[in-house]
């Protein structure tokens, strides 16, 4: 389609449609007469075929939980194969509600609090935020600017990986904001260093379809015919290509089966398992035990902070107080009887089998395989029951908000 025809068919006014980019200018910058380059979405409608499919879906009228149909995998796999020669497999695929959310789960899957994660700056700022919010150490290697053309400093990358015992690299390809479409050679050099230094890599390839000129995008997944795949997780989404960010869908492509298992556990575990485990073991105590305090510090604190920020509480003063409280001592934090009552009620509401399994898993710390053997049921049944239990517990406990309430009571 010619450019003019495309613009005529797809360009759309986004002001006054609750667009973050346009209608959020005032609250973000205090002015409205600005060119909003702060959000990477476009002034174009989604492709006609996507719009039709969405209209059909809306006309159907029910929005209960859905499966991912085979046609979705087929469409995505064909796209990746035809354009970039990447062969993907259904069992590699996981889904998220956004690349940044997926990065957070991956950080928790692949590292523990305090471990070092590298980014190459300048880079999309949520990379740094998601590392720091998860209580990991941020290590920066600067890209080198040759008159506007940025390159990686391999020596610096390797040196800093060694010095800081870096465990993970979050890499942007193509790169936002420097606009580089990395060459195969550049990607291979970087992956070879990561391989030597035992540093895992998350490749954020969300911008892979948005390339000016005849530069060729190469996915990290296909470097050296997939040699580095086991060390690599690729994330992308249809949101940038088709202007669909508010539909909240992202892909997490994990070729390595061990990482997949860890990721599944992490995703299901969520806050609920940790909370449940600690609270259950301290049932009856009014004052929080030391282990719970430590736990509050590492895990809950960051999620509370995210929740506070995501709820966009604009009261700066209040935010500062909450942050100060979260980052200082936990001495004032009291988990009272009400939490234990809610916990017990949430547990009682689970179906019998589900409760039995979750108690073995969370309280006794048994692995799915051990539970399956003990109860003489299939491991997949354990897995689905555990996920079901977490879902039900989460709905009942709404733990983050409960905790915020408690933390705020301290003021
Ligand atoms: C490199 C990069 N990753 C991720 C995102 C955001 O993705 P999501 O909305 O799926 O979290 C952006 C958006 O600008 C981006 O530039």
Dist. CA 349–CA 128, nearest whole Å: 40
Tokens of 304: 């509370």
pLDDT of 336 reads 44
Q: Which of 182, 206, 246 to mutate to test the pocket of ligand 1 (most atoms within 8 A of CB)?
A: 206
Q: Is the CB of 206 under 6 A from ligand 1?
A: yes
Verify whether ligand 1 is closer than 6 Å to residue 104 (CB atom): no
**Rg of the chain in Å (alpha carbons):** 23
Report the run of H or E that residue 306 belongs to, with start and end: helix 301-310
CA of 305 to the centre of ligand 1 (A): 20
Q: Specify the pLDDT at position 320.
A: 54
Going by alpha carbons, the residue nearest to atom 13 of ligand 1 is 40
What would the two tokens of residue 326 be?
């979260």
The pLDDT of residue 405 is 46
DSSP bridge partners of 235: 204, 252
Does any ligand 1 atom lie closer than 6 A to the CB of residue 100?
Answer: yes
> Residue 288: its pLDDT value, please?
40
Mutate to test the pocket of ligand 1, among 42, 99, 120, 248 (most ligand atoms within 8 A of CB): 99
204 lines ligand 1 (CB under 6 A): yes
* Distance in Å, CA 166 to ligand 1 centroid: 23
The answer to whether the predicted template modeling score (pTM) of the entire model surpasses 0.75 is no
Output the residue whose Cα is nearest ligand 1's atom 4: 99
Structure tokens at 21: 């980019």
Task: State whether the beta carbon of 107 lies less than 6 angstroms from ligand 1.
Answer: no
On the CB side of 297, CA atoms within 13 Å amount to: 16
Taken as a whole, the chain contains a residue count of 411
| CB-CB contact of 334 with 405 (8 Å) | no
Q: 170: Cβ below 6 Å to ligand 1?
A: no
At residue 183, the pLDDT reads 97
Task: Output the tens digit of pLDDT for each of the chain's 411 residues.
Answer: 899 999 999 999 999 999 999 999 998 899 999 999 989 999 999 999 999 999 999 999 998 878 899 999 999 999 999 999 999 999 999 998 899 989 998 998 898 778 899 999 999 999 999 998 888 899 999 999 999 899 999 999 999 999 999 999 999 999 999 999 999 999 999 999 999 999 999 999 999 999 999 899 999 999 999 999 999 999 999 999 999 999 999 999 999 988 887 787 676 555 555 555 555 554 444 344 444 444 444 444 455 555 444 443 334 444 555 555 544 444 344 444 555 566 677 778 889 998 898 888 876 778 888 999 999 999 889 888 887 887 777 666 654 444 544 444 432
DSSP string, 328-383: S--TT-B--HHHHHHHHHHHHTS-HHHHHHHIIIIIS---HHHHHHHHT--HHHHH
Report CA(217)–ligand 1 centroid distance (Å).
18
- As given in the structure block, the two tokens for residue 105 are 């789960």
Contact indicator for 220, 200 with CB cutoff of 8 Å: no
Burial of 278 (0-12, 13-18, 19+ CB in 10 A): buried
Which atom of ligand 1 approaches the CA of 97 most closely? 10
DSSP β-bridge partners for residue 94: 252
| pLDDT of the residue at 302 | 53
What angle do the packed helices 379-397 and 399-409 form, to 10 degrees?
40
Q: Is 63 helix (H, G, I), strand (E, B) or coil?
A: coil
The reply to whether ligand 1 has any atom less than 6 angstroms from the CB of 178 is no
Pocket flag, ligand 1, residue 252 (CB < 6 Å): no
Please choose from 123, 124, 251 the residue to mutate so as to test ligand 1's pocket, defined by most ligand atoms within 8 A of CB.
Answer: 124
Closest ligand 1 atom to Cα of 40: 14
> What's the rounded Cα separation, in Å, for the pair 198 and 169?
10
Q: Which atom of ligand 1 is nearest to the CA of 41?
A: 14
């Amino acid at each position: 389609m010619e450019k003019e025809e495309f613009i005529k068919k797809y360009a759309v006014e986004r002001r006054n449609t609750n667009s973050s980019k346009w209608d959020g200018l005032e609250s973000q910058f205090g002015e409205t007469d600005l060119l909003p380059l702060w959000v990477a979405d476009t002034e174009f409608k989604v492709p006609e075929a996507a719009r039709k499919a969405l209209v059909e879906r809306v006309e159907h009228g029910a929005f209960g939980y859905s499966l991912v149909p085979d046609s979705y995998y087929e469409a995505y796999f064909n796209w990746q194969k035809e354009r970039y020669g990447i062969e993907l497999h259904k069992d590699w695929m996981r889904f998220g509600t956004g690349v940044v959310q997926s990065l957070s789960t991956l950080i928790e899957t692949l590292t523990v609090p305090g471990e070092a994660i590298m980014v190459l700056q300048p880079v999309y700022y949520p990379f740094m935020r998601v590392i720091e919010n998860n209580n990991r150490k941020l290590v920066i290697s600067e890209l080198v600017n040759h008159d506007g053309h940025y390159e990686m400093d391999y020596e610096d990358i390797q040196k800093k990986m060694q010095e800081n015992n870096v465990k993970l690299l979050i890499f942007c390809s193509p790169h936002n904001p420097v606009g580089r479409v990395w060459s195969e050679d550049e990607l291979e050099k970087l992956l070879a260093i990561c391989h030597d230094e035992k540093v895992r890599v998350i490749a954020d390839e969300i911008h892979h379809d948005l390339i000016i000129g005849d530069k060729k995008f190469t996915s990290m997944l296909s470097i050296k015919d997939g040699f580095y795949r086991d060390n690599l997780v690729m994330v992308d989404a249809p949101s940038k290509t088709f202007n669909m960010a508010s539909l909240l869908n992202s892909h997490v492509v994990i070729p390595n089966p061990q990482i997949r298992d860890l990721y599944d556990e992490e995703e299901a575990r969520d806050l609920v398992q940790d909370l449940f485990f600690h609270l259950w073991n301290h049932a009856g105590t009014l004052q929080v035990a030391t282990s719970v305090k430590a736990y509050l510090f590492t895990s809950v604190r960051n999620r509370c902070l995210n929740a506070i920020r995501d709820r966009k509480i604009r009261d700066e003063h209040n935010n500062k107080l909450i942050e100060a409280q979260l980052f200082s001592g936990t001495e004032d934090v009291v988990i009272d009887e009400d939490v234990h009552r809610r916990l017990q009620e949430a547990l009682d509401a689970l179906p019998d089998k589900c409760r039995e399994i979750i108690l073995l898993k969370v309280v006794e710390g048994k692995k799915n395989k051990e539970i399956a053997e003990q109860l003489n049921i299939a491991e997949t049944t354990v897995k689905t029951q555990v996920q079901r239990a977490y879902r039900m517990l989460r709905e009942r406990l709404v733990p983050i908000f409960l905790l915020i309430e408690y933390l705020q009571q301290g003021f």
